[in-house]
Structure 1
Amino acid sequence: MIFLNGRTHMSRRNFLATTGSILAATALTTPAIAQTRQLTIISNRGNADQRKALETIASAFGKEAGVTVSVNNMDHEAHKTAIRNYLVTSPPDICFWFSGSRMRSFVDRGLFDDISDLVVRENYADVIAHTLGSVTVGGKQYGLPTGGILWGLFYRQDTFDQHGLTPPKTFDDFFTLAQKSRAGGIVPMSIGTKDQWPCGGWFDHMNLRINGLQHHMDLMAGKIKYTDGSLKDVFDRWEALIKADFFTPNSTSFAWDPAAAALVQKKAAMMDLGNFIKYAFPAEDLSQVRFLPFPEIKSGLEQYEDFSVDSIHIPSGAKNKDVGREFLAYFYKPENLSTYLAPEGNVPARSDCPIGNDPILKMAVDAMKTVKGTAQYYDRDSDPDLAQAGLKGFQEFMVRPERRDNILAQIERARARIHG
């Protein structure tokens, strides 16, 4: 049975106390009442259809496993604060969160349970190879990646046809794109940096293509200085694009959605964003949308991408960890995970999940087949204070690239203060 949205149910102790005589009388003929097993889930889903999908999956699990399941959904933003309290004071058996650095901060405090045994038992490494690292700390897994946002380049095929543009396959192709786009009166690469975070995606792509995944993750973990020589090529190339008028003029005046609108309205050629860009397009235009991984920069380097992954966890203080593992195995079946993810259109972390008819999702899933490893996103992989300093610095760099040395020195001071 299942109780939703915080409705209470009789505790196991009270249940046994009030029904003890009945159980004793029927013990020889009736199996133990499985519904005395309980599971409490806290969700952070903002999409009403996704909340319903989770409740449906939980209800089916409860009936099949003989478990009383309580699903409590919290406002997405409020949950970011609440989880810091409830993991300590009254942890549920299952909770939803983010992988990467945000997960690691709770692992370091001993608040998420090690579920490596479940990962091994269910052979999950075979189907989540490219995202296994997002839930791994010290060689152990502390959650399961559910689904997320694949970041890359988006464009309209009809805009490219109109202006005779070709999808860029190398970094040098960006300059050809810039020249032809400008000649046609459109912006080569639309970007809105008012909220700073879109700068992080551009930096991530450049660094992953030049220095690779391990370097990038070491940088995110504060192990590499922002003044290190390994970043020179990243900022040299970024500066060359800025000086070639590659990006939206006055980009600090725009948030991501007005920048996306420029792409929708055929006023821009491309945009570096996540697959949620589809929400900017009218349904009738989606057939024109194309996805392209960020072009190669260093020849022979494996393909690594930003894939911002949500995750599901068993808190270390959970009362029903065994039942929690049962639920995770049930929830993580490919058909159930697909049902859960479908309302938001996120890319499944499992490579064997069935995909619906969402054209952008299909392109993203296709692209993931060649990915050798993933990062999250700049502000998900970094310490929050360092991420703030980095994003502010990147935003300034895109306006005043000549201040590069001062900007990187400022970010480095933040890194040294936080990581030593």
Structure 2
Amino acid sequence: MKDLTSLMESAASSRRQFMIGAGTALAGVALSCPALAQSKELTIISNIGNAAQREVLQRIASEYEKAGRVKVTINNMDHEAHKTAIRSYLVVGAPDLCFWFSGNRMKAFVKRDLFDDISDLFERENYKSVLGPSTAAVTVDGKQYGLPLGGLLWGLFYRKDVFAEKGWTAPKTIKDLLTLGEQAKSAGMIPVSMGTKEMWPAAGWFDHMNLRINGLDKHMALMDGQMSYTDDALKPVFDTWEELIKAEMFSPNHTSFGWEQAAAALAQKKAAMMDLAGFIKYGFPEDQVDQIAFAPFPEITSGMARYEDFALNSIHVPKNAKNKQGARDFLAYFYKTENLSAFLEAESAVPPRSDCPPSKDPLVNAAVESLKTVAATAQYYDRDTDPDMAQEGLKGFQEFMVKPERREQILERLEATRKRVFKA
């Protein structure tokens, strides 16, 4: 799963710029804070592709500047370039703060001792009381190594006007989904719009079905390499998936186009539903975004607690940062409800804090309400597992959706990768 910044860049290429604002001089520190008053410089590396969000970050830093005398230099990197650069700069030339991803991608740097433990900041600001389940996304062995930022809640999306016209209701069970599929086909529509050219959308279906059938603990055991891809527990997951494939629930030739084209098919009323996150709106004309509705992925195993993919970006203090105290105090200011809300509003991201005000985006508010009924969350397949394992998994899931009869060979191949990657 590409993170939200990357997805938005593909929807609006003008948002992508390489190393923007490298010399931006900003400042920050309340004079009443002795630790920061003595600091003279703070450096930040971000991967923000959304121009409006970059502006909000600069505004926050500028307002912070008025109260103190810390020079803040913000280097904004191209998203893809940042993925490579962070591996080097965390070791040599680390900034004081950097934007990254929570979950397994964060954990990889924690294990290498490259992100600082900021549990003291969590305690000082009482963040756990407002973050709730989101705290887990930045926690390793009971310690916090970052602050969660904007999130993506994954589920099913559809057009209100189409469902009203057809008299359809959002499916609550997998049986309902299959019934809706038949109704959609009878109406000349694709039941579920799907584009797997970039492969990751197929992983969303695996996540949803595994969480609905096996629950979070088994799902995360698989993600952590502690469970085999040939385990019997996965059989009903692929059985259910194969049933949907054979029922022709998904777009034909879905490997030839991406998520944007799939979202456009939903917007054009060629498809009934789509499994994605709130950025689906970028596939809709602006004057039709208000027709988008959200529904949780349907129940498969009766009585299973509701677990969802809620992918969170995050911000971190590198272990090799020069101004760790300054970084913590800037984070405390940046993470104030009003500042974080403004920052996230610019990209229509779901806030991790429970005390943020309602968004102007109804899809964000729908996600916030839906999250209140979630027992716990995962991230997304390629965020939750090792990168090498994820790459093979994405290939395997895409292949399965085209050739479900290759299931055994695909799973054996994934199991071989698991053993190699996790040294199982």
- The answer to whether the superposition gives a TM-score over 0.5 is yes
| Structure-2 separation of matches of 1:66 and 1:374 | 40
Select between 119-128 and 174-183 the one with higher mean Cα deviation.
119-128
Q: TM-score, normalised by structure 2?
A: 0.90
Q: Root-mean-square deviation (CA), in Å?
A: 1.7
- Partner of residue 326 from structure 1, selected from 321, 324, 329: 329
- SS of the counterpart of 1:370? coil
1:193 is displaced (CA, Å) by 1.2
Aligned mates of 1:66, 1:300 — CA distance in 2: 56
Whole-Å separation in 2 of the counterparts to 1:122 and 1:296 = 38
Equivalent residues of 2:94, 2:321 under 8 A apart: yes
Could you list the runs of 5+ residues in structure 2 that have no partner in the other structure? 1-19, 26-33
CA contact (8 A) 1:130 1:371 kept: no
Partner of 2:154: 151
What is the match of residue 399 of structure 1? Answer: 402
CA drift at 1:355 = 2.6
* Residue of structure 2 in register with 1:49 after alignment: 52
Who is 2:123 aligned against? Answer: 120
Give the conservation status (yes or no) of the 8 Å contact 1:286–1:359.
no
After superposition, where does 1:77-226 map in structure 2 within 5 Å?
Answer: 77-226=80-229
Answering whether residue 339 of structure 2 is matched by residue 336 of structure 1, we say yes
User: Which digits, 9 at most, give the CA deviation of each residue in 1:358-384, with x for residues without a partner?
Assistant: 121121122122122111111111111
Letter in 2 for 1:118: L
Partner deviation per Cα, 1:1-58 (whole Å, 9 max, x = no partner): xxx933388xxxxxxxxxxxxxxxxxxxxx9993753211111101111111111112
Equivalences, count: 396
3-state SS, counterpart of residue 160 of structure 1: helix
Shift of 1:65: 4.2
Query: Is 1:6 equivalent to 2:22 in the alignment?
Result: yes
Provide the rounded CA distance (Å) in 1 between the counterparts of 2:324 and 2:207. 37
Please identify the structure whose Cα radius of gyration is greater. Answer: 1
**Inter-partner Cα distance in structure 2 for 1:35 and 1:381:** 40
Paired with 1:138 and 1:419, the residues of 2 have a C-alpha distance of 19
Instruction: Give me the whole-angstrom Cα distance separating, in 2, the residues matched to 1:63 and 1:109.
Output: 37
SS at match of 1:127: helix
What letter is aligned with 1:7? Answer: G
TM-score w.r.t. the length of structure 1 is 0.91
CA–CA separation in structure 2 for the residues paired with 1:195 and 1:56 = 35
In the aligned structure 2, how far is the partner of 1:77 from the partner of 1:382? 19
CA change 1:48–1:222 in 2 (3 A) is: same
How far apart are 1:61 and its partner, in Å?
2.1
SS at match of 2:374: coil
Percent of aligned pairs with the same residue?
A: 61
Which AA in structure 2 matches 1:377?
Answer: Y
What does residue 62 of structure 1 align with?
65
- Kindly tell me: are residues 32 and 293 of structure 1, through their superposed partners in 2, closer, same or farther at Cα, counting changes over 3 Å? closer
* CA spacing shift, 1:33–1:96, aligned 2, 3 Å: closer
For 1:8-47, what aligned pairs fall within 5 Å after superposition? 34=37, 36-47=39-50
CA–CA distance in structure 1, aligned partners of residues 221 and 36 of structure 2: 51
Match of 1:364 in 2: 367
CA drift at 1:205: 0.5
SS of residue in 1 equivalent to 2:192: strand
Distance, in Å, in 1 between the alignment partners of 2:262 and 2:22 is: 40
Deviations 1:210-257 (CA, angstroms, capped at 9, x unpaired)? 111121111111111100011111111111111111111121122111
Q: CA deviation at 1:130?
A: 1.8
- C-alpha contact (below 8 Å) 2:194/2:254 kept by paired residues: yes
For each residue in 1:57-104, what CA deviation from the matched residue of structure 2 results, as whole angstroms up to 9, or x when unmatched? Answer: 122223324422222211122111111111111111111101111111
Partner-residue secondary structure (3-state), 1:312:
strand
- What letter matches 1:154 in structure 2? F
SS in structure 2 opposite 1:356?
coil
Q: Distance in 2 between matches of 1:33 and 1:148?
A: 30
Does residue 266 (structure 1) correspond to residue 283 (structure 2)? The answer is no
Is the Cα contact below 8 Å between 1:114 and 1:141 reproduced in 2? Answer: yes
Pairwise CA distance, 1:166: 1.7
Q: Which amino acid aligns with 2:293?
A: R
The amino acid of 1:418's aligned partner reads V
Could you list the per-position Cα deviations for residues 155-214 of structure 1 after superposition, in whole angstroms to 9, with x for gaps in the alignment?
001111233322100111011111111111101111111211100101001111111112
CA contact (8 A) 1:306 1:374 kept: yes
Is the 2:24–2:72 contact (alpha carbons within 8 Å) kept by the matching residues of 1? no
Q: Is the 8 A contact 1:146 1:348 kept in 2?
A: yes
Question: Partners in 2 of 1:7 and 1:175 — Cα distance?
Answer: 55
Which consecutive aligned stretches of 4+ in structure 1 deviate over 6 angstroms post-superposition?
A: none
Match of 1:238 among 237, 241, 244: 241
